[in-house]
Amino acid sequence: MKSTFFSSFQCFPPTSDENITVRDTTFNDIPVRIYVPQQKTKSLRRALFYIHGGGWSLGSNDYYFYDLLSRRTADRLDAVVISTNYRLAPKYHFPVQFEDVYTALKWFLDPQVLESYGVDPGRIGVSGDSAGGNLAAAVAQQLLEDPDVKIKLKVQSLIYPALQNFDFDLPSYQENAHYPVLSKSVMVTFWSEYFTTDRSLKKAMLSNQHIPLESSHLFKFVNWSSLLPEKFKKGHVYKTPTHGSSELAKKYPGILDVKASPLLADDSKLRGLPLTYVITCQYDVLRDDGLMYVTRLQNSGVRVIHNHLEGAFHGTLYFLFTKVGYRAADQYINWLHENL
C-alpha cells in the first residue's frame, strides 16, 4: 500500500492507450496535457478543464494520480480533458498561479480552439482539487466579469477546495490541526508562501492576526457561526478574529483579494456561477471552507450538489487503492457524466 501511495506522485510522460490519445502542449505558453478519446464521433464532445492541487507550490499534471484521473474522466465521459500546469511558489507568488490558469483556460475557450478539438461550447466545465479547487473557483468567478469571453461554463466541480485565508480558527482547523496529510501548520505555510516568503505573514496567520481593522467588514463572508450547518459547529464558540497590522495587507494585498479567497465574493457575483459540485471530507482543515461556500452559493440561488465524505481526509482521491478514495472518484466522475 505504501508503494502504491508514493507511486501516485511519480511523474509520467504523455502516454496514449487504445482508448485515449494523450499529448503535452502549451496554451499561450502555459503547459497543458490534453486527453482526447480515440473513438470517432460525429457529434461535438464535452470538455473538462482540470487544475491540480499542491498548495500552489507542489504538484504537476504529469503526476500518476492526476494522469490517471484525467484519463479515466476522458474515457468515461467521452470528453476532452485539459489538465493544466502553472508556475509554483515559492519562486512565484500570487497572482501568478491564478493568471497562468486563467490564461490557459481563456485560450481554450476561444471558439476556434474549441472547434479544433471538437468541443461543444455549451458543455464545458472546470474542476480542481485543494489549491486547484481554489483556482477553479477563482477563474469561474473571473469569467463572469470578462467581456472578452462569451462562452459560459456549464459546471464547476471543487474537490476539498481552499477558499479563504481570513480565518484559521474555523472548527475544521481546530479539530484537524494535527491531522496527517494536511495539518493547520502546513496549510498556513501554503497560504503564506502563496503571497510571500516573508515569515512575518506566516506568524501572523498562525495567530489569526493578519487581517487589518479596515478590512473587518469582509469577515461576514467567512463567518462560520452563520454559514456552517449546525452539526459542524459541534459546540464551538465563534471568536471575532483579532485584527492585524495594516502594513502586512499593504505589503501583500493578495491576502484581501477575491481571486485568492473566492469566499470573499459578494452575493451578486456568486449568483452568476454555474451548477456546482463540492466535495468535503470529515478530517480536513479545509472542510469548513467548502461547507461555507456551499451555503453561500445556495443562498445566492446557485444549484449546488454537496458530497460530504464521512471518515475521509484531505487528499482522499489520491488514494484510489482504498475503498473511500475509489468511491469518491467514482461519484465525482458519475456526477460529471450526468451533469456536464
- Polymer length of the chain: 340
- Write phi, then psi, for 19 (nearest 5 degrees): -110, -35
Angle (nearest 5°) at CA 258 between 255 and 260: 55
- Helix, coil or strand: residue 334: helix
The alpha carbon of 228 is separated from its chain's Cα centroid by a whole number of angstroms, namely: 20
What is 56-99 written as a DSSP string?
Answer: TTS--TTBHHHHHHHHHHHHHHT-EEEEE----TTTS-TTHHHH
The alpha carbon of 15 is separated from its chain's Cα centroid by a whole number of angstroms, namely: 26
Q: 159: which 3 cell numbers?
A: 474537490
Look up residue 152 and give its DSSP letter: P
Q: 113: which 3 cell numbers?
A: 480552439
93 is catalytic: no
In a 13 Å sphere around the CA of 129, the CA atoms on its Cβ side amount to: 23
Helices (H), 180-322: 184-195, 199-206, 224-227, 246-251, 267-270, 287-299
148 is catalytic: no
**What does the radius of gyration of the chain's CA atoms come to, in whole angstroms?**
19
Q: From the candidates 62, 129, 284, 288, which is the catalytic residue?
A: 284
Closest C-alpha among 107, 106, 101 to residue 52: 101
314 is catalytic: yes
In a 13 Å sphere around the CA of 219, the CA atoms on its Cβ side amount to: 22
Distance CA 115, CA 314 (A): 37
Closest C-alpha among 292, 268, 280 to residue 157: 280
Closest C-alpha among 285, 61, 89, 90 to residue 181: 285
The alpha carbon of 339 is separated from its chain's Cα centroid by a whole number of angstroms, namely: 19
Helix axes 96-108, 131-143, angle to 10 degrees: 60
Q: From the candidates 130, 157, 192, 261, which is the catalytic residue?
A: 130
Positions marked catalytic:
130, 284, 314
